[in-house]
Structure 1
Amino acid sequence: MLVFPTPRRRVTPLALIGVTTLAAVLAAGAAPGAAAAPRPADVSSHIAPAGKGKDGDDPAEDKPAETSDDPKAGSNAAAEVMRRQEPLLDAGLAISELDDGGLGGLRLDVPKNTLHVWWRGDVPAKVKDAIERFRAADGIRIEVGESRYSQRELLKATEGLSRRSGDLPELVGVAPAVEGSGLAVYVNPQILVTITLEMLPPGSTITEMPVVQQVSRGFDIAPWWAGSVAQPVNGGPVCSTGFAVEKRFLGIPTESGVIVAEHCAPGGGVAFDSGSGIRIGTAGAPSTLPKTDSLYVRAPGGSAARIYDGGVGVGEFSKPVVGVTGNLPGQYVCTSGAATGAHCDVVINLTNFEHVLAPSGIVVRSSLATQQQGRPAVGLGDSGGPVFVVTAADPGKVKAAGMINGGVLQTNCEGFGSTCFVQVTFTNIYYVQAAHDVYVKTS
């Protein structure tokens, strides 16, 4: 099974945006004016009020409208491409589940309705049968090629090089190449590079890239939704809430909370407040499962299976979360952080990308994705926020894909935020669930 697929070949120099520097980016918070902007009335009827707004009014009057019919608003603009990609994504994830060790890589090419599959050695009969079923049932193209290595082999090599990051200060990140051709290694051009191709598996590449910066909606109330402001009370940087999650015993929910980025409060054990100063809850200790950059915040006031969509303070609405999905190269996703709002047309370049977040030094295993028009994918203050896909059956609903942790390649913000980035790094949602033994809440 391909848990965290990966891409890519040699690229031009990049600048990772991470969650901006822990202090600088996350301290950025919401966009100017967000605090004063009134929230539209909530037309949702299935979310029971669980607290009061900052002025003591009913939370139903403070939450943004449930949905938006504007086809250009927020993630609604991604509805058509998400509809076209869904059969490709389903096929890719199903094939990865059949991997017995030979899978070299997977990549979606949504514009061409094609799924690329690379395999080391002979393709097993069960995989060939699955490919033919998907071709016949969904009318998609599936092209199969040979890979030099398997993803499992390259993931071991990735972890081995990542463990040496303390001795290799120039190392920004490393991932398996999407075609299984070797390692894709990224180095900081401002530091003397001692890594050579001779140190890497044949077929690997070395590319210059700036370090990944940590990046951290306005004034939410319980039950907490994904994409609102979450600020540690110890004076740490302003970040965003991730997906609402719950713990279970024998399948029965026992408590609920939200996910946040660990670099917002390294080591955990810190309380988080909303943008209006209402206590969300206290983060537990980091998971023993490494490289997730995540914390679980237990929320006594409850959390709900919804995300903020649209802008920040202006043009806000929300959507229900109805499931979770994996990450594959070529996949389109959307992001929605408290500082810069929703961004779509963001395509995954790499998975299993191990990198260091500056300045916290936290090592993370991420997916790396790029906004296709060079517009913002994320900005300072968005750390911890949701990464998601819109469902094909109903663009008013979403599936959880990950949690924002960083960004690369600075660009001008468009309407919200002060510092934005073309690329985003995020943690696979399945990895976050496993790290804290929680389940994303769905409706």
Structure 2
Amino acid sequence: MRKSTRRRMTAVLGGAVVLVMASAGTALADQDRTKPKDTKPTTTAPAGTSAETGPVPGGFRSWGELRAMQQKLNAAADRVTAAGGDGLAGIVAAPENRELRVYWAGKTSAAVTDLLSDLNRTVPVKVLPAAHSHRSLQAEAARLVRQPGVTSAAPKVDGSGLVLGVRDSARTQALSTSVPVEQVASAPESMASRGNDSTPYWGGARWNGCSTGFAVWHGGVTKMLSAGHCGSHGQGAYDGGGDYMGLIEGDNDAYDRLLINTWSSGRTYDGGVGVNEFSKPTASAAHSYVGNWVCNSGAYSGAWCGIQVKYTNVTVNVGYLIYQTVWAEQVDRIAPVGNGDSGGPVFDLTPDHARTIAKGTNTAIDLSTQAPCRGVPEGASRKCAWRFFYVDVVNSLNAYGASIVTG
């Protein structure tokens, strides 16, 4: 959504045509950021996310109906995850299946058995046998992802083995491993970096060539969550118009997260880039599970849906290791993300599509699935893909002792 104090102009930056907004906004004092108010004008958002079109999976009558089922399954999955247990291999919470599938290696404990029985009263739960636990697969994944030619390692949700992303399958055929391995071509690349946002900042806007993620409460004030590879602790952060936002803190490249110490609001940009922009308030934050449907809203690509989670707890090798990411794919093989979208918000929607549910922040794209860029055109410095990796937002919140800012 555009602010009324801005005028629009086009400019060429790094070979890509982008929309730049001029702003007369000024930074606010830190103490003002403790006030949970939003002074920016808003518009009435369309009934659904701009790119959420086409048939609804699973025979649901609407995407809202599907998302209501998804959130019911996810709540049950959270309880299973919290209960833990050495035998847990994985959980599928795909709403089109209308059941929660829990994969378990060995025999469940009495406590877990009782929990699953309790959940089954309100959510159909199917417990299926697994050859390997998630814990054992994760340990093997951490070892293999360091081998030459291996770019990512993901435990299969059914506990049957690992999926390895490889640059050259010929070089990795002879890998020595104790678990079954499936190899897929993969070439992940960290995403370098909507216009020119102003305080209080929203998710999905430009900063330092990247995208803002979600507003969080941390240390009694609001801050902005984004990707760790976009800056370093103590550096200054600047929005798309060059205005100073605040200092970067808590940079952690191994988990690709950081905080920008700036006044932020619990809203996320939706719609296109420079045109048809609007925003939605954030309702909550939630974990991602295999089978979940999500949307993405980067500052350069705009908002896109039709994205499904394929693997969780994925270790990615982009020249260094990034842990606990989520592997997601746009099912129509349209590129929803690319260079410039790093740190941008990945989200679910409430059943009425009026609010977002924070799910994660963009980390890397897989260039073996490269496709034409959306939003800002593809150019010499911009590449996009339909497979990408993102950081689970709940893990980031827990790491910082932070909470999501709601709209």
Instruction: Tell me the TM-score normalised to structure 2 length.
Output: 0.83
Change in CA separation of 1:82 and 1:343 when aligned onto 2, cut-off 3 Å: same
Deviation at 1:80, TM superposition (A): 3.8
Task: Report the CA distance between 1:227 and its aligned residue.
Answer: 0.7
Query: What one-letter code is carried by the residue in structure 2 that aligns with 1:437?
Result: G
Q: Distance in 1 between matches of 2:375 and 2:14?
A: 15
Q: Following TM superposition, by how much is the alpha carbon of 1:285 offset from its aligned partner in structure 2, in angstroms?
A: 4.9
Report SS of the residue matched to 1:118: strand
Deviation at 1:29, TM superposition (A): 10
Aligned to 1:171: 150
Equivalent position to 1:395, from 353, 357, 382: 353
Tell me the residue number matched to 1:350. Answer: 311
- 1:150-195 CA-partner distances (Å, limit 9, x unpaired): 1112122222334xx2xx33110112111111222221128x6146
Per-residue Cα deviation, 1:314-361 (whole angstroms, up to 9, x for no partner): 111111112110011111111111001111111111111101225xx3
Please say if residues 29 and 338 of structure 1, whose CA atoms lie closer than 8 Å, have aligned partners that are also in contact. no
* CA RMSD across the alignment: 2.6
* Aligned pairs for 1:21-420 within 5 A: 32-33=18-19, 35=21, 47-49=37-39, 60=40, 63-65=41-43, 67-71=44-48, 73-74=50-51, 78-138=63-123, 141-162=124-145, 165=146, 168-189=147-168, 193-194=171-172, 196-197=174-175, 199-231=176-208, 238-248=209-219, 253=220, 255-265=221-231, 267-287=232-252, 291-299=254-262, 302-357=263-318, 361=320, 363-392=322-351, 394-408=352-366, 409-418=369-378, 419-420=383-384
Residue type of the partner of 1:343?
W
Superposed displacement of residue 78, structure 1: 4.7
In the alignment, which residue of structure 2 is the partner of 1:21? Answer: none
Which residue in the other structure is 2:32 paired with? none
Q: Residue 136 of structure 1: SS of its match in structure 2?
A: coil
Q: For residue 72 of structure 1, report the CA deviation from its aligned partner.
A: 5.6
Q: 1:68 to 1:216 in 2, by over 3 A?
A: same
**Superposition deviation, residue 264 in structure 1:** 1.8
Distance across 2 between alignment mates of 1:132 and 1:215: 46
Query: Would the alpha carbon gap of residues 415 and 244 (structure 1) be closer, same or farther in structure 2, given more than 3 Å must change?
Result: closer
**CA shift for structure 1 position 413:** 2.8
Are 1:30 and 1:381, in contact at CA under 8 Å, matched by a contact in 2?
A: no
List gaps (5 residues or longer) in structure 1: 1-26, 38-45, 50-59, 232-237
Kept in 2, the 8 Å contact 1:30–1:217? The answer is no
* Equivalent position SS for 2:122: helix
User: Could you tell me whether the CA contact under 8 Å between 2:337 and 2:384 is conserved in 1?
Assistant: yes
Distance 1:215 1:420, change over 3 A: same
Give the stretch that moved more between structures: 368-377 or 206-215: 206-215
Percentage identity across aligned positions?
A: 28
Shift of 1:145: 1.1
- Any idea what SS the aligned residue of 1:244 has? strand
**Matched letter for residue 382 of structure 1:** D
Contact 1:175–1:354 (Cα < 8 Å) also in 2: yes
Is the Cα contact below 8 Å between 1:212 and 1:355 reproduced in 2? Answer: no
Q: Verify the 8 A CA contact 2:300 2:375 in the aligned structure 1.
A: no
Unaligned stretches of 5+ residues in structure 2: 1-12, 24-35, 54-61
- Work out the CA distance in 2 between the residues paired with 1:383 and 1:227: 10
Instruction: Indicate the residue corresponding to 1:441 in structure 2.
Output: 405
Structure showing greater relative contact order (alpha-carbon pairs closer than 8 Å, 6 or more residues apart) = 1
Deviation at 1:125, TM superposition (A): 3.4
Q: 2: CA distance between counterparts of 1:133 and 1:436?
A: 33
Q: What per-residue deviation string (whole Å, max 9, x for no partner) do you get for residues 26-82 of structure 1?
A: x76986345489xxxxxxxx8343xxxxxxxxxx3xx552x4134462569953432
- Partner SS for 1:129: helix
Give yes or no for contact 2:302–2:375 (8 Å, CA) kept in 1.
no
1:93 aligned counterpart, secondary structure: helix
Paired with 1:79 and 1:133, the residues of 2 have a C-alpha distance of 26
Deviations 1:388-435 (A, max 9, x none): 11123x421121111101112111234444232111210111222233
Equivalent pair of 1:336/1:386 in contact (CA under 8 Å): yes
Q: CA deviation at 1:84?
A: 2.7
Contact 2:22/2:241 (8 A) holds in 1: no
Q: Distance in 2 between matches of 1:72 and 1:269?
A: 36
Q: Secondary structure at the match of 1:286?
A: strand
Partner residue of 2:392 out of 398, 405, 428: 428
